[in-house]
């Protein structure tokens, strides 16, 4: 890890919707991260960069060559991640990558191994793990408070993409296959893997029922895990926002519902029960998990603790994603090696 102190100096690669969100939240984390340059080929990004005091370049290689850049944050189209990570590691830069890490298990293994062998931190844009009620749920499961985990039910859907121009990469079936899987579903499978371990097989239904979105707008996956247990995951691109994650164990269950999209969090409603106790409902106020994930990455770069999402979990999630994409094409069960 770096022996340096002070904020980790980063290049923000991509100033689209999500890149701009991260720049905004990092203003409240300036003690930990400092965006010294942004990379964006679209000329329309200049106004945003100027308004936020960012140096702007169209060249990723130019940003990597800067001695004041210690790490990169990749908010770029999925297909670019593997090459961009390889270039960053070759330049000695730590990497925070938006999901998905790669589109294949082999690609994820390569990214994790490259960073690990180079002694560089690899962070992932799975901010759901940093939502306070989700962190509590993960801790409760790890401590055995829920007993044997039996099943996960989860849905993360929205209709934000219906108004996008057809040329947008998020509406490219090659870039973002299997309905809402790479947009939202991958967060749910990440949490399911954290709770149940690597998946054994999956069967997917992916249809286009209410739009002209090329990759389909209605996706559901039934997943079985090597350790036993199942997960049902749904990710729809043609319904108003909903985010629900529920885990069921022999000693209790927890359901977490977001009040609003993580783009602008408004808090959560948690419903739960344990053996011998009545169902309870409580609310948790807003937090900023996108920021907290990035801060955890910065702390790991500075040697102040391990980054909490393991490389093994990252690889297992992409192995499952690859199988989901394959099953979405056929509707058949796909086994995960």
312: in domain: no
Average pLDDT over residues 243-268: 97
Average pLDDT over residues 26-30: 92
Q: What is the tens place of the pLDDT at every residue in 153-185?
A: 999 999 999 999 999 999 999 999 999 999 999
Q: Looking at the structure, tell me whether residues 65 and 192 fall in a common domain.
A: no
CATH code: domain of residue 329? 3.30.360.10
Burial of 106 (0-12, 13-18, 19+ CB in 10 A): middle
Q: Looking at the structure, tell me whether residues 81 and 17 fall in a common domain.
A: yes
Radius of gyration of the chain (CA): 20
Q: Say which residues have a Cβ less than 8 Å from residue 7's Cβ, sequence separation at least 6.
A: 30, 31, 32, 33, 34, 298
Q: Looking at the structure, tell me whether residues 186 and 283 fall in a common domain.
A: yes
Q: Looking at the structure, tell me whether residues 151 and 271 fall in a common domain.
A: yes
- What's the token pair of residue 157? 């859907």
**Domain range holding 152?**
129-293+317-335
Q: Looking at the structure, tell me whether residues 63 and 25 fall in a common domain.
A: yes
Ramachandran bin of 23, using left for φ above 0, alpha for ψ from -120 to 50, beta for the remaining angles? alpha
49: in domain: yes
Is the Cα dihedral 102, 97, 172, 265 positive or negative?
positive
- 295 close to 176: Cβ distance less than 8 angstroms: no
300: in domain: no
Ramachandran bin of 303, using left for φ above 0, alpha for ψ from -120 to 50, beta for the remaining angles? left
Assess whether pLDDT exceeds 90 at residue 224: yes
225: in domain: yes
Q: Looking at the structure, tell me whether residues 78 and 225 fall in a common domain.
A: no
CA dist list (Å): 107 to 36, 83, 335: 29, 10, 18
Q: Looking at the structure, tell me whether residues 148 and 235 fall in a common domain.
A: yes
Question: How many alpha carbons fall within 13 Å on the CB side of residue 70?
Answer: 20
Average pLDDT over residues 81-89: 98
Q: Say which residues have a Cβ less than 8 Å from residue 65's Cβ, sequence separation at least 6.
A: 91
- Count of CB atoms situated within 10 Å of the CB of 316: 23
Please give the tally of structural domains in the chain.
2
Q: Looking at the structure, tell me whether residues 28 and 169 fall in a common domain.
A: no
Assess whether pLDDT exceeds 80 at residue 253: yes
- What's the token pair of residue 116? 């690990």
Instruction: Determine the pLDDT at residue 3.
Output: 66
Q: Looking at the structure, tell me whether residues 32 and 94 fall in a common domain.
A: yes
Assess whether pLDDT exceeds 90 at residue 265: yes
Which DSSP string corresponds to 201-259? Answer: EEEEEEE-SSS--TT-SEEEEEEEETTS-EEEEEEESSS--EEEEEEEESSEEEEEEES
153: in domain: yes
Instruction: Determine the pLDDT at residue 337.
Output: 85
The domain boundary residue, chosen from 108, 127, 146: 127
72: in domain: yes
Average pLDDT over residues 51-77: 97
Instruction: Determine the pLDDT at residue 1.
Output: 46
Instruction: Determine the pLDDT at residue 4.
Output: 85
Assess whether pLDDT exceeds 60 at residue 2: no
Q: Look-up: residue for tokens 């130019």?
A: 62
Q: Which of 21, 71, 27 is nearest to 53 (CA)?
A: 27
- What's the token pair of residue 252? 């209790």
Q: Looking at the structure, tell me whether residues 248 and 200 fall in a common domain.
A: yes
Q: Percent of the chain beyond pLDDT 90?
A: 97
275: in domain: yes
- 154 close to 234: Cβ distance less than 8 angstroms: yes
Q: Looking at the structure, tell me whether residues 168 and 85 fall in a common domain.
A: no
Q: Please provide the average confidence, as pLDDT, over all residues in the chain.
A: 96
DSSP code of residue 31: T
CA dist list (Å): 328 to 142, 198, 229, 245, 324: 32, 19, 21, 22, 6
Q: Looking at the structure, tell me whether residues 210 and 324 fall in a common domain.
A: yes
192: in domain: yes
Q: Rounded to whole angstroms, how far apart are CA atoms 140 and 134?
A: 10
The domain boundary residue, chosen from 90, 109, 127: 127
CATH code: domain of residue 58? 3.40.50.720
Assess whether pLDDT exceeds 50 at residue 187: yes
The domain boundary residue, chosen from 127, 154, 184: 127
């Amino acid at each position: 890890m770096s022996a340096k102190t002070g904020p980790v100096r980063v290049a923000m690669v991509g100033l689209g919707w999500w890149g701009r969100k991260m720049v905004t939240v990092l203003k409240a984390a300036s003690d930990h991260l400092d965006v010294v340059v942004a990379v964006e080929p679209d000329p329309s990004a200049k106004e945003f960069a100027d308004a936020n005091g960012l140096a702007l370049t169209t060249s990723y290689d130019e940003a990597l060559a800067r001695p004041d850049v210690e790490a990169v944050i990749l908010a770029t189209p999925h297909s670019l991640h593997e090459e961009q990570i390889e270039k960053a590691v070759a330049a000695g830069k730590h990497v925070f990558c938006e999901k998905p890490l790669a589109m294949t298990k082999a690609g994820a293994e390569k990214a994790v191994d490259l960073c690990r062998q180079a002694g560089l931190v690899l962070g992932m844009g799975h901010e759901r793990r940093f939502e306070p009620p989700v962190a509590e749920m993960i801790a409760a499961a790890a401590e055995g408070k829920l007993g044997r985990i039996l099943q996960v039910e989860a849905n993360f859907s929205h209709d934000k993409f219906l108004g996008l121009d057809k040329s947008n990469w998020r509406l490219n079936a090659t870039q973002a296959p299997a309905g809402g899987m790479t947009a939202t579903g991958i967060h749910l499978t990440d949490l399911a893997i954290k709770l149940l371990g690597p998946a054994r097989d999956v069967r997917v239904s992916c249809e286009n029922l209410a739009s002209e979105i090329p990759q389909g707008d209605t996706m559901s996956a039934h997943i079985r895990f090597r350790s036993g247990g199942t997960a049902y995951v749904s990710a729809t691109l043609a319904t108003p926002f909903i985010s629900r994650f529920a885990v069921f164990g022999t000693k209790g269950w927890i359901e977490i519902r977001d009040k609003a999209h993580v783009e602008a969090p408004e808090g959560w409603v948690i419903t739960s029960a344990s053996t011998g106790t009545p169902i309870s409902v409580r609310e948790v106020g807003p937090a900023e998990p996108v920021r907290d994930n990035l801060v955890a990455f910065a702390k790991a770069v500075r040697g102040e603790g391990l980054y909490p999402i393991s490389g093994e979990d990252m690889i297992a999630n992409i192995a499952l994603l690859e199988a989901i994409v394959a099953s979405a094409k056929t509707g058949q069960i796909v086994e995960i090696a």
